[in-house]
Structure 1
Amino acid sequence: MNRDWQTRYELAVEAGRKAGDLARAYYETTFDIENKADDTPVTVADRQAEQLIRSLVTQSFPDDGFLGEEFGDQPGGSGFRWVIDPIDGTRSFIRHIPIWGTLIGLEYRGEPIGGVAYAPVLGQVYRGLRGDGAFVNDRRIHVAKTDKLGDALMCYSSLNWFTKVGRENAFLELVRRTHRQRGFGDFYGFCLVAEGACDFMIDHGVHEWDVSALKAIVEEAGGQFTDWGGTPTTTTPDVLASNGLLHADVLAILRDTP
């Protein structure tokens, strides 16, 4: 295992835990909520959690770069970049719904190589490093072996994202063609794919900080992660994560449904 990757991965797990626990301290109290320019909510917990991660990383790797939801892009010279979503699922966080998490993606020369998704209230750390496998806490995880769409459990974030981009028919066709559907939004649906609890997760409206960590985890669990055109990227707003066996079938429905 590449030592530079491994040491940063270990730090990502530590930093994710510390930042998530900081956010949880706010979650268990009352706090003020602001709206950002894009009309999405933000709290002091989001900002402090991201600041903590940046501080911990900079102490050990001062030449690494960052991309974070709250404090933007900070280029580095080492080839490594940390992609941070301090609270993925802020809308759940502010309504005291426990499905939210702290995400840290680790990139090297533009490629996601590792990821950590810590769900503090659930007590679960999903993590993966290229070549090392994927885990929840210390248990190795793998995607499901479901190979028929009619047997599949589909996860999604919210129907309104499909409505906004005029893809309601494709969504409804996926509903008709799958066995069950569950609206586990944000990071959690992707983590469920990685551990084999659901078979694919489809989403729209994401940013790099929403999915960089998750791509690494899903792929290390044996799954596939692309946009709706089949490109393995984290830079588009549309994303599909699956066990790999169903990926082509879902992409075909997205492509062929008017």
Structure 2
Amino acid sequence: MDRDLEQGRGRTGTVISAETASDIMQTAHLLADAARGETLRLFRSPELRPDNKAAQGFDPVTEADRASERAMRAILARRRPQDAILGEEYGATPGSSGLTWVLDPIDGTRAFMAGAPSWGVLIGVAGDSGPVYGIVDQPHLGERFEGGFGIARLTGREAQTPLACRTGVDLAQATLMTTYPEVGTADELAAFTRVARQVRLTRYGLDCYAYALLAAGHVDLVIEAGLQSYDVMAPIAVVQAAGGVVTDWKGGAAHGGGQIVAAASPALHAQALELLAGS
């Protein structure tokens, strides 16, 4: 258990006892297990029928998204009814504990629709000023990335290994990822391109899985824009637990969403911020 938790206070300032932390982690794994069942039931299935929830453009949602979030909410109602919930599909439910479960039942629904195993289930727990714990789960691959309360680990089907961001990598040798080539607005795309021109490799399209790969030491930077809190709360917890740095593009708190830069090291983070600012 990390020193912050032993002193009864999480990194965000929310008081969390060791007993509460243990219950949070046990509950989070139950949520992830339930979401696996619901999502895998329809992944690569001919019965998948996506709906479009956008008034303009295409913002897909499937019954797998909805069923996954319903299953997780049902567990929270039984085990931790005092906690608040913020979910992508069913919105906000108030609580009294000072803790909020932030759920994205399928992050990467477009990948899910295409049969690509780069989507994930995001389970974040937030205190009064940001994430204290998170899981990024990839059900099809059987990979669960976990961070918080002194833990940073990847649990696979056959083994459990520690998570640690890659260090000692300069910008010129870095691997950069984002979900869409057309990042945000024209100005945001221009800022992203300034960074992309300086790295060794830029890749696209992995949604939350890019943050998981950063925490595992395979990717050095993830830069995105236009995100929601439920897109980033769990990935931030995992990346930070693995030694990485996550902020907005100005170096501020990132858990509210918007513009996100996640870096494997403080030095790389500083280089990326400078380029994003136009320097």
**Residue 165 of structure 1: how far off its partner (Å):** 4.1
Q: How far apart are the structure 2 equivalents of 1:250 and 1:118?
A: 27
Q: Match of 2:197, SS?
A: helix
So what's the TM-score if we normalise by structure 2? 0.87
Residues 61, 168 of structure 1: CA spacing in aligned structure 2 closer, same or farther, 3 A cutoff?
closer
In the alignment, residue 63 of structure 2 is paired with which amino acid?
V
2:63 pairs with 41, 44, 49, which one? 44
2:124 pairs with 99, 102, 105, which one? 105
Residues 94, 206 of structure 1: CA spacing in aligned structure 2 closer, same or farther, 3 A cutoff?
same
In the alignment, residue 152 of structure 2 is paired with which amino acid?
A
Name 1:35's counterpart in structure 2: 52
Q: Match of 1:159, SS?
A: coil
Name 2:6's counterpart in structure 1: none
Q: How far apart are the structure 2 equivalents of 1:111 and 1:161?
A: 25
Q: Match of 2:169, SS?
A: coil
In the alignment, residue 272 of structure 2 is paired with which amino acid?
V
Q: How far apart are the structure 2 equivalents of 1:19 and 1:72?
A: 17
Does the Cα contact within 8 Å between 2:44 and 2:113 map onto a contact in 1? no
In the alignment, residue 133 of structure 1 is paired with which amino acid?
I
1:120-139, aligned counterparts within 5 Å? 120-130=139-149, 132-137=150-155, 138-139=160-161
**Once the two structures are aligned, what percentage of the paired residues are identical?**
31
2:31 aligned with 1:12: no
Q: Which runs of 5+ in 2 are unaligned?
A: 2-17
Q: How far apart are the structure 2 equivalents of 1:183 and 1:161?
A: 10
2:170 aligned with 1:148: yes
Name 1:167's counterpart in structure 2: 188
Name 2:109's counterpart in structure 1: 90
**Residue 237 of structure 1: how far off its partner (Å):** 1.1
2:231 aligned with 1:231: no
In the alignment, residue 215 of structure 1 is paired with which amino acid?
I
In the alignment, residue 65 of structure 1 is paired with which amino acid?
A
Name 1:57's counterpart in structure 2: 76
Name 2:224's counterpart in structure 1: 203
In the alignment, residue 29 of structure 1 is paired with which amino acid?
S
**Residue 109 of structure 1: how far off its partner (Å):** 2.6
Q: Match of 2:272, SS?
A: helix
Does the Cα contact within 8 Å between 1:9 and 1:106 map onto a contact in 2? no
Q: How far apart are the structure 2 equivalents of 1:226 and 1:168?
A: 18
Q: How far apart are the structure 2 equivalents of 1:189 and 1:241?
A: 10
In the alignment, residue 206 of structure 2 is paired with which amino acid?
G
Does the Cα contact within 8 Å between 2:122 and 2:234 map onto a contact in 1? yes
2:237 aligned with 1:221: no
Q: How far apart are the structure 2 equivalents of 1:236 and 1:185?
A: 17
Does the Cα contact within 8 Å between 2:119 and 2:206 map onto a contact in 1? no
**Residue 64 of structure 1: how far off its partner (Å):** 0.9
In the alignment, residue 43 of structure 1 is paired with which amino acid?
T
Q: Deviations over 1:68-122 (max 9, x none)?
A: 0000011100111100000000001011111111110011234210001110111
Q: Match of 1:52, SS?
A: helix
Does the Cα contact within 8 Å between 1:9 and 1:129 map onto a contact in 2? no
After alignment, is 2-11 or 240-249 more displaced?
2-11
After alignment, is 83-92 or 1-10 more displaced?
1-10
So what's the TM-score if we normalise by structure 1? 0.94
In the alignment, residue 169 of structure 2 is paired with which amino acid?
D
Q: Match of 2:183, SS?
A: helix
Aligned residues: 255
2:179 pairs with 157, 161, 180, which one? 157
Q: Which runs of 5+ in 1 are unaligned?
A: none
Q: What RMSD in Å do the two structures reach over aligned CA positions?
A: 1.4
